[in-house]
Amino acid sequence: MLEIRGLTASINDKSILKGIDLVVPQGEVHALMGPNGSGKSTLGYVLSGREDYEVTAGTVTFNGVNLLDMEPEERAAAGVFLAFQAPVELPGVNNANFLRTALNALRRAHGEAELDAVQFLKLARAETKRLAMPDDMLKRNVNVGFSGGEKKRNEVLQMAILRPKLAILDETDSGLDIDALKVVADGVNALRGPDFSALVITHHQRLLDHLVPNRVHVLAHGRIVRSGGPELAKELEKSGYAGLLAEAA
């Protein structure tokens, strides 16, 4: 269970998160919506431990451990995965090698045996096949020369292989066509189970058609201003944020 209490955070002395309270129980998928600049991506970065952000107050625990005390790689080992809104390019680094290094780092942290190249490729090929991605995705350099859609698919592939306990998807559906959107939804749905939870940051109801969330939260001006069931997203699709913001103000 992810439990965020009174979280405030700033970057370069500019306050972005102004008191977030949010609970995502194990086994649930929650959607996080809200206007541009409301702090959604910042929340994703703060949860995953990006150093540029300063946490000024509040607590974040995941399955009982304090995430805020941990290095990014320790959070990853605890099961936190961030699908980046703008995935980063690593020139000369082969995608399969990158993923195997990451998976084995996680396995080491869990006291599990590392996978050799053959074992890993078997697993990775099964996942690419399941997600209907071409095998050459694994051979190419990490995100180098990938189209916007390919980068997002690659994030989903990484999530499928690393099997996190908490996935934070930062607008992974943005700029995707309907088929790619389904890949994202399928990626999350495949992991759904009692030990998996997700926080899906999105602007679009259509992702939530494929990925029915347990709860929907609206973030505005650094605070959660409204929470509700899946119907809240449909309502926002119709009426926009304006009414909600006026109400909150």
- Does residue number 98 form part of the binding site for another protein (CB under 8 A)? yes
Lay out the sheet containing 166-170: strands in order across: 80-83, 166-170, 197-201, 29-33, 215-220, 223-228
**Residue 163 φ then ψ, to 5°:** 45, 70
Q: Select 42 or 182, whichever has its Cβ closest to another protein.
A: 42
Find the binder of another protein among 34, 87, 187, 222 (CB under 8 A). Answer: 87
- Does residue number 51 form part of the binding site for another protein (CB under 8 A)? yes
Q: Select 8 or 85, whichever has its Cβ closest to another protein.
A: 85
Find the binder of another protein among 64, 91, 111, 145 (CB under 8 A). Answer: 91
- Does residue number 118 form part of the binding site for another protein (CB under 8 A)? no
Judge whether 57 and 6 are in contact, CB under 8 Å: yes
Give the three-class secondary structure for 135.
Answer: coil
The conformation of residue 212, written as its DSSP 8-state character, comes to -
90-94 contacts at long range (C-beta below 8 A, 24 or more positions apart): 90/141, 90/142, 90/143, 90/144, 91/141, 91/144, 92/141, 93/141, 93/142, 94/138, 94/139, 94/140, 94/141, 94/142
Find the binder of another protein among 55, 102, 123, 190 (CB under 8 A). Answer: 102
Of 11-19, 44-52, 175-183, 203-211, the window that binds another protein (rule: CB under 8 A) is 44-52
Q: Select 163 or 210, whichever has its Cβ closest to another protein.
A: 163
Judge whether 48 and 80 are in contact, CB under 8 Å: yes
Provide the minimum distance between the beta carbon of 201 and another protein in the complex, in angstroms, as a whole number: 15
Instruction: Scan for tokens 């605070």, then name that residue.
Output: 223
User: Residue 167, exposed/middle/buried by CB under 10 A (0-12, 13-18, 19+)?
Assistant: buried
Find the binder of another protein among 69, 71, 135, 195 (CB under 8 A). Answer: 71
Find the binder of another protein among 12, 13, 92, 231 (CB under 8 A). Answer: 92
Q: Select 199 or 233, whichever has its Cβ closest to another protein.
A: 199
Each residue 169-208 as x (binds another protein by CB under 8 A) or -, in order, gives: ----------------------------------------
Residues binding another protein (CB under 8 A): 48-52, 71-73, 75-77, 81-82, 84, 87-93, 97-106, 108-109, 114, 116-117, 141, 158, 162
